[in-house]
Amino acid sequence: MSEDLPAETVGETKATKEAKETEAAREAAGPLHAQQAEESRAAGAPKAGKSSRSARAGKKSGAAGATKGVKADEKPVEPVAPLDWSNPLRDPQDRRLPRIAGPSGLVIFGVTGDLSRRKLMPAVYDLANRGLLPPGFSLVGFARRDWENQDFAEVVHDAVKEHARTPFREEVWQQLAEGMRFIPGDFDDDEAFEQLRKAVQELDTSRGTSGNYAFYLSVPPKFFPKVVQQLKKHGLTDAPEGSWRRAVIEKPFGHDLGSARELNALVHEVFDPEQVFRIDHYLGKETVQNILALRFANQMYEPIWNRSYVDHVQITMAEDIGIGGRAGYYDGIGAARDVIQNHLLQLMALTAMEEPAAFDARSLLTEKLKVLRAVRLPDDLGAHTVRGQYEGGWQGGAQVPGYLEEEGIDPASTTDTYAAIKLGIDNRRWAGVPFYLRTGKRLGRRVTEIAVVFQRAPHSPFDSTATEELGENAIVIRVQPDEGMTVRFGSKVPGTSMEIRDVSMDFAYGESFTESSPEAYERLILDVLLGDANLFPRHQEVEESWRILDPIEEYWSTHGKPAQYASGGWGPREADEMLARDGRSWRRP
Amino acid sequence: MRIDLTDTTASKINKALVQGRRAIGTPAVGMVLTLVIVTDEENAYDSIKAAEEASHEHPSRTLVVIKRHPRNLRDRTRSHLDAEVRVGSEAGTGETVVLRMYGEVSEHADSVVLPLLLPDAPVVVWWPVDAPDDPAGDPLGALAQRRITDLYAVERPMETLERRVRTYAPGDTDLAWTRLTLWRSMLAAALDQARVPVTSATVEAEADNPAAELLARWLEARLHVTVDRVITDGPVVTAVRLGTANGEIVIDRPEGPIATMTLPDQPPRSLALKVRSTSELIAEELRRLDADEMYAIALRGEAGKETPVHV
């Protein structure tokens, strides 16, 4: 996914990018969530009677989640105040008042990068436009550019105008622009960090940010140590009494278990584990959060959500673009590390996990970890995993190069651009149900979906000719694009003879809650400022995911070569054979 | 597409809706609520437009009830119903039926509306003008979970406000209250930061502004202080001052969309606090379909002594 790329890398290689790919990447994050409370209530609208109660409960547990983090590191998140103080203007009954982040500021490292311009700055503006940022919110940019504050403001202005989701409003912009600062400098430039420290202090007095800052490291991972050390050295990570300092980091979180542990140790040395927010923008997506609503707020799905009814689960994330200008980042990493380790395993965990005790970060972590720990790899990795590389050819009417012909790629590279693996989950609910995870570049179209495929009916009173065209029932959660859900089942074809064919029943977010879905980054940035960690994978999950993937990567590095597959198709023949061995086949998403 | 029906009935309209949807190729759409707009011909256009814009957030079936008063006596006694069915691009993301009622049928609008409500989905009634004295007791209002009135659209807002206090039923809401959400959330945010008890309060606004009165009552109910009402030139609410032991908390919006927030011992900050359009207000209203208890509390003010039990 190109938008996952650390921002500076993208920025540097931007020139080599095809316009098409930028476009695709821009769409990639897709629309998402509003103030969680608000939207879930809109969703519950048809059953107005009950929704009020559950919505209130949701809000309460959200608050509990926020304070939980506080207890763990024994630092109050809110400024000092009498302990029994509660804001008389707030009331759980008053659900019009949005969750506004407390006084705070955001410092972005690598602010000139693509991600920052395309996603972060517009998200900050959209939040401000929706009135969710605190008065006095400040945005500090840090990068290697010879800019003044107003140059920075202009860059943000352009980024916002081009990429923001909500209409541009001068008054909102003014409010935001007053709190913008820019610090030019390198990451090993002590003077620049000293300047940053002063800027932060100045903002505390001039804007009232109360010492609360989130540091967004939108930089390649090799710079993490440097930046983190510099922050520590210059006292930027020492939160004054009663305030917080948080770190926001983007993937990749290492390239195997060892390196992930190293990285975590490094960051945790400076920031409390509870104060480190790892962005997996998929988790900010409406549909992904809806997996939990679908499963745990409804009665009709959970009874069949187990091995007695489910035949298997397919989780797919396909991209129609190649690696674009990301050769330097991608080669040696590959699809499995880039996508399966984080996005797909997270989607799998949410699909397979047990009901959490509450909707808060700790309970979610507990359940996700339980599932990840129960994951079992197939005994024969050769028969149940497949990797591939795209060949040159024609895709969607355009001629495209093969992976080995891409600029900057070693013609002998064995990096996978396609990966498919089969996993089992050893627990009572899922024993014997395979989870097939696949991802690839230059596939038929851009799509991410979770398909829960059900067993066939144990007995059919209809004769076999009547059910010839009947497939397996399935619930498909479409994560992107066209967020929504499809239920596939058999239905009688109109006419005199008895003939049963598959039909789809569709729920689309675009139909039921158009336009109000915020971008994933909006939601995630707001959650960082609120200290709500529900949607952020914790370091234990990251390490557990590497534990799952490492043996596969190891096997691949010593056995054979990636299979070649035609661009614009649905992956190598070997992947089809892999499922055929189990008597199954991939869905065409 | 648009289908015109003259001298029609609800069942013919239902048939036309199915026909219209078939014709544009969407046999079923995920509409989440039925919005009934009761208005006169003069305000119909703007109301429908606002509802269509709001429907981007909440796809809905919009039923517009227009009661016509024909000029000549013969037409006045002849009771009939005309309908205009709009689906597809003409009706935002949902479908719209404009119902024009002449003569006696306009006294029985609920009999036309009831068969046209979406199955299972909640019903919202909105009177852009001429809301009944007792919204919940109105035959159309009785069909709805939520009843939206607008104190800005009445001649004597303060008198009407008192009447609303008397007739309040759960599910009632008013756009004058909706207009306050930004103010209220900024005040709550200010207090989040100041974290001190409030000892006095002042609301400054133009004369006879119902929103200002609701704001003052809300503050009284929540802060348990007497709120001074100061009359200014407007527009609408211009400032709120909260007195505390440490100094004054002020949100000041003399004009335009930019307000200034001042907290004790802190630098002033500017805030975007704009006056929102009707469609935005309606969209906000439609987000919640259960009773707005805080509105009830604000409506009654301190007099009701209705402090919520769980703070």
Residue in chain B closest to A518 (alpha carbons) equals B57
Task: Tell me if chain A has a CB within 8 Å of the CB of B258.
Answer: yes
The residue written with tokens 């029985």 in the block is B108
Looking at chain A from residue 506 to 525, which residues have their Cβ under 8 Å from any Cβ of chain B? Answer: 507-508, 511-516
Phi-psi region of A178 (alpha: psi -120 to 50; beta: other; left: phi over 0): alpha
Please identify, among B153, B174, B195, the residue that sits at the C-terminal boundary of a domain. B174
Query: Amino acid letter at A404?
Result: L
What pLDDT was estimated at residue A278? 92
Q: Where among A225, A259, A279 does a domain terminate? A: A279
Asked whether residue B289 is domain-assigned, the answer is no
What pLDDT, on a 0 to 100 scale, did the predictor assign at position A517?
A: 66
- Binding residues of A for substrate are 281, 285, 319, 338, 441
Residue A184, pLDDT > 70, answer yes
Q: Are the C-beta atoms of residues A81 and B195 closer than 8 Å to each other? A: yes
Restricting to A residues 522-581, those with a Cβ less than 8 Å away from any Cβ of B are none
Amino acid at A116: S
In this complex, is the C-beta atom of A95 within 8 Å of any C-beta atom belonging to chain B? yes
Question: Which chain B residue has the Cα nearest residue A129?
Answer: B272
A509: closest chain B residue by CA: B30
* DSSP sequence for B133-180: SSGGGSTTGGG-SEEEE-GGGSSSHHHHHHHHHHH--TTEEEHHHHTT
Which among A52, A169, A210 has CB closest to B290? A52
Residue A426 lies in a domain: yes
The least confident of A52-61, B16-25, B160-169, B278-287 is A52-61
Are A354 and A236 part of one and the same domain?
Answer: no
A67 located within any domain = yes
Domain that holds residue A573: 284-451+538-580
Task: Name, in order, each residue with C-beta under 8 angstroms of A303's C-beta and a sequence gap of 6 or more.
Answer: none
Give me the DSSP letters along A77-133. Answer: SSPS--TT---TT--TT-TTS-----S-EEEEETTTSHHIIIIIHHHHHHHHHTT-S
How many residues in total does chain B contain?
311
Chain A: residue nearest B177 by CA? A96
Residue A201 and residue A318 share a domain: no
Q: Does B94 touch chain A (CB under 8 A)?
A: no
Which residue, among B299, B57, B291, has the nearest Cα to B180 in the 3D structure? B299
Contact A135 B192 (CB under 8 A): no
- Partnered with residue B63 across adjacent β-strands are B36, B97
Query: A307 with A415, same domain?
Result: yes
Task: Give the distance, in angstroms, between the CA of residue A191 and the centroid of all CA atoms in the same chain.
Answer: 35
Instruction: Give the mean model confidence (pLDDT) for residues B241-266.
Output: 87
- The three-point CA angle A395-A397-A402 to 5° equals 30
Q: Which residues of B touch A174 (CB under 8 A)?
A: 258, 270, 272
Helices (H) and strands (E) in chain A, counts: 21, 18
Residue A429: band (very low, low, confident or very high) from pLDDT cuts 50, 70, 90:
very high
Give the one of B145, B274, B292 whose C-beta lies nearest to A48's C-beta. B145
For chain A, report the end-to-end CA distance as a whole number of angstroms: 18
Verify that B35 and B151 share a domain, yes or no. Answer: yes
Residue A561: inside a domain: yes
CA dist B210 and A223 (Å) reads 57
Could you tell me if B190 lies within 8 Å of chain A, comparing CB atoms? yes
Residue A409 above 70 pLDDT? yes
Q: Tell me the HSE value of A58 on the side-chain side, using a 13 A CA sphere.
A: 21
A194: tokens are 């000293």
Q: Tell whether A484 lies on the interface with B, counting CB pairs under 8 A.
A: no
- Residue B106 placed within a domain: yes
Structure tokens at A535: 């949607």
CB of B272 within 8 Å of any CB in chain A? yes
Which candidate, A387, A386, A421, places its Cα nearest to that of A314? Answer: A421
Q: What is the mean pLDDT of residues B259-274?
A: 83
How many whole angstroms separate alpha carbon B111 and alpha carbon B126?
17
pLDDT, one tens digit per residue, over A342-385 is 999 999 999 999 999 998 889 999 999 999 999 999 999 999 99
Write down the pLDDT at residue B288. Answer: 78
Identify the three-state secondary structure at position A437: strand
Nearest to B189 among A96, A100, A514 (CB): A100
CATH number at residue A257: 3.40.50.720
* HSE of A188, CA atoms in CB hemisphere, 13 A: 3
CA distance linking residue B66 with residue B264, whole number of Å: 52
Which of B93, B186, B289, B309 to probe the A interface (max A CBs under 10 A)? B289
Per the CB < 8 Å rule, is A514 touching B269?
A: no
Cα-based distances in Å from A415 to A63, A337, A404, A409, A443? 44, 10, 9, 10, 16
Residues B164 and B16 placed together within one structural domain of the fold: yes
Is the residue at A507 inside a domain?
no
Q: Are residues A289 and A230 in the same domain?
A: no
> Is the bond leading into B157 cis (omega within 30 degrees of zero)?
no
> Considering A163, A234, A343, A384, which one is annotated as catalytic?
A343
CB of A86 less than 8 A from some CB of B? yes
Q: How far apart are CA B222 and CA B305, in angstroms?
A: 10
- Let me know whether A326 and A361 are in one domain: yes
> Is the domain of B91 the same as that of B226?
no
Domain identity same for B13 and B90: yes
Q: Chain A residue with minimal CA distance to B145? A: A48
**Which positions in chain B touch A38 (Cβ < 8 Å)?**
287
User: A399 lies in a domain?
Assistant: yes
Helices (H), A279-354: 286-296, 327-330, 334-335, 345-352
Judged by a CB distance cut-off of 8 A, whether residue A89 touches chain B is yes
Q: What pLDDT, on a 0 to 100 scale, did the predictor assign at position B27? A: 55
Residues with Cβ within 8 Å of residue B59, at least 6 apart in sequence = A511, A512, A514, B29, B30, B31, B32, B92, B93, B94
Taking only residues 238 to 277 of chain A, the set having a beta carbon closer than 8 angstroms to any beta carbon of chain B reads none
Calpha distance A535→A556 (Å, rounded): 32
Look at residue A1 and give its three-state secondary structure. Answer: coil
- Considering the domain boundaries, does residue A33 fall inside one? no
Instruction: Compute the nearest-CA separation of B191 from chain A (Å).
Output: 7
Residue of A nearest to B56 (CA): A514
The verdict on residue B301 lying in a domain is no
Residue A34 belongs to some domain of the structure: no
The mean predicted confidence, pLDDT, of chain A is 82
Burial degree of A585 (CB within 10 A; 0-12, 13-18, 19+):
exposed
- For residue B227, is it within any domain? yes
Q: Left if phi > 0, otherwise alpha if psi is -120 to 50, otherwise beta: which for A11?
A: alpha
Which residues of chain A lie closer than 8 angstroms to B287, CB-CB? 38, 41-42
Considering only A52-66, A102-116, B119-133, B195-209, which range has the smallest mean pLDDT? A52-66
A167 touches chain B (CB under 8 A): no
Domain membership flag for residue B293: no
Please indicate, yes or no, whether residues B170 and B187 belong to a single structural domain of this protein.
no
Q: What share of chain B is helix, strand, coil (3-state, %, to 5)?
A: 40, 25, 30
Same domain? A234 vs A297: no
Q: Kindly state whether residue A26 falls inside one of the protein's structural domains.
A: no
* pLDDT at residue A50, rounded to an integer: 41
- Residues A507-525 have a mean pLDDT of 73
Mark yes or no for CB contact A48/B289 under 8 Å.
Answer: yes
- Hey, how many other C-beta atoms are within 10 angstroms of the C-beta on A98? 18
State the total domains in chain A: 2
**Radius of gyration (C-alpha) of chain A in whole angstroms:** 24
Q: Which of B141, B156, B174 is the last residue of a domain?
A: B174
Last residue of a domain, one of B139, B174, B209: B174
User: What global pTM score does this model have?
Assistant: 0.79
Q: Using the CB atoms, write b or e for B246-264: b if 16+ within 10 Å.
A: eeebbbbbeeebbbbbbbe
**Looking at residue A518, what DSSP letter applies?**
P
Do B196 and B167 share a domain, yes or no?
A: no
Q: How far apart are CA B224 and CA A534, in angstroms?
A: 36
Determine, for residues B195 and A97 on separate chains, whether the beta-carbon distance falls below 8 Å.
no
CA distance B59 to A362: 36
Closest chain B CA to residue A171:
B272
Kindly report the nearest CA distance between residue A580 and chain B, in angstroms.
37
Residue A82: the pLDDT is 52
- B54 and B74 part of one domain: yes
Same domain, yes or no: B120 and B263: no
Give the residue from A226, A256, A279 where a domain finishes.
Answer: A279
Element (H, E) at A316: strand A310-318
Q: Are A420 and A303 contained in the same domain? A: yes
Mean pLDDT over A315-327 rounds to: 86
Residues 126-185, chain B, touching A (beta carbon < 8 A)? 145, 178, 181-182, 184-185
The CATH number assigned to the domain holding A333 equals 3.30.360.10
Q: Where a domain ends, among A233, A255, A279?
A: A279
Pair (A248, A325) in one structural domain: no
Decide if pLDDT at A42 tops 60. Answer: no
Residues B15 and B145 in one domain: yes
C-alpha distance from B25 to closest chain A C-alpha (Å): 14
Distance CA B62, CA B118 (A): 10
Judged by DSSP in three states, A476 sits in: strand
Residue B202 within a domain: yes
Contact B33, B123 (CB under 8 A): yes
Residues A156 and A288 in one domain: no
| Strand duo B146-149 + B123-126: pairing | parallel
Interchain CB distance below 8 Å, A97 and B198? no
Q: Which residues pair with A492 in a beta bridge?
A: A500
Q: Could you tell me what percent of chain A has a pLDDT over 90?
A: 39
Which residue among B188, B270, B273 places its CB closest to the CB of A97?
B188
- Report the alpha-carbon distance of residue A547 to residue A561 in Å, rounded: 23
Residues in chain A: 589
* Statement: residue B306 has pLDDT above 60: no
Please indicate whether, in this complex, the C-beta atoms of A511 and B93 are within 8 angstroms of each other: yes
Q: Tell me whether residues B185 and A91 touch, CB distance under 8 A.
A: no
Statement: residue A579 has pLDDT above 50: yes
Pair (B129, B157) in one structural domain: yes
Mutate to test the interface with A, among B225, B227, B262, B266 (most CBs of A within 10 A): B266
What tokens were used for B211?
């929103």
Instruction: Give the domain range for residue B148.
Output: 2-174
> Above 70 in pLDDT, residue A279?
yes
Same domain as A386, residue A339? yes
With 60 as the cut, is the pLDDT of residue A83 above it? no
Distance from the Cα of residue A328 to its chain's centroid: 23
Is the Cβ–Cβ distance between A515 and A483 less than 8 Å?
Answer: no
B200 assigned to some structural domain: yes
Backbone CA torsion sign across A461, A464, A466, A467: positive
Contacts of A80 (CB under 8 A, 6+ apart): A241, A242
Let me know whether A267 and A313 are in one domain. Answer: no
If you count residue pairs, one on A and one on B, with CB atoms under 8 Å apart, how many are there?
A: 152
Known binding positions of A for NADP(+)? 144, 186-187, 251
Answer yes or no: A163 catalytic.
Answer: no
Using CA coordinates, name the residue in chain A closest to B298.
Answer: A94
Contact A131 B310 (CB under 8 A): no
Residues in binding site of A? 144, 186-187, 251, 281, 285, 319, 338, 441
Q: Which residues from A are below 8 Å from B256, CB to CB?
A: 171
User: How many domains are there within chain B?
Assistant: 2
- What DSSP state is assigned to residue A300? S
Q: Looking at chain A from residue 289 to 328, which residues have their Cβ under 8 Å from any Cβ of chain B?
A: none
CA–CA separation, B22 and B232 (whole Å): 56
3-state secondary structure of A506: strand
CB atoms A131 and B185 under 8 Å? yes
CB within 8 Å of chain A, chain B residues 11-30: 29-30
Angle between helices A170-177 and A149-163 (to 10 degrees): 140
Q: Residue B305 falls within a domain, yes or no?
A: no
Q: Which residues of A touch B267 (CB under 8 A)?
A: 136, 205-208
**Mean pLDDT of the A493-516 span:** 74
Q: Are residues A425 and A560 in the same domain?
A: yes
pLDDT in tens, A115-170: 888 889 999 999 998 888 888 899 999 988 888 888 889 989 999 999 888 888 88
Residue of chain B whose alpha carbon sits nearest to that of A97: B185
Q: At what angle do helices A121-129 and A149-163 cross, to 10 degrees?
A: 80
Question: Dihedral of CA A273/A277/A279/A283: which sign?
Answer: positive
* B13 plus B53 within the same structural domain: yes
Asked if B76 and B159 sit in the same domain, the reply is yes
Instruction: Tell me whether residues B93 and A134 touch, CB distance under 8 A.
Output: no
Per DSSP, which regions of B77-145 are E strands? 80-87, 95-102, 123-126
pLDDT tens for A537-572 read 999 999 999 999 999 999 999 988 999 999 888 999
- Phi then psi dihedrals of residue A572, to 5 deg: -70, 155
Q: How many other β-carbons are positioned within 10 Å of the β-carbon of residue A360?
A: 21
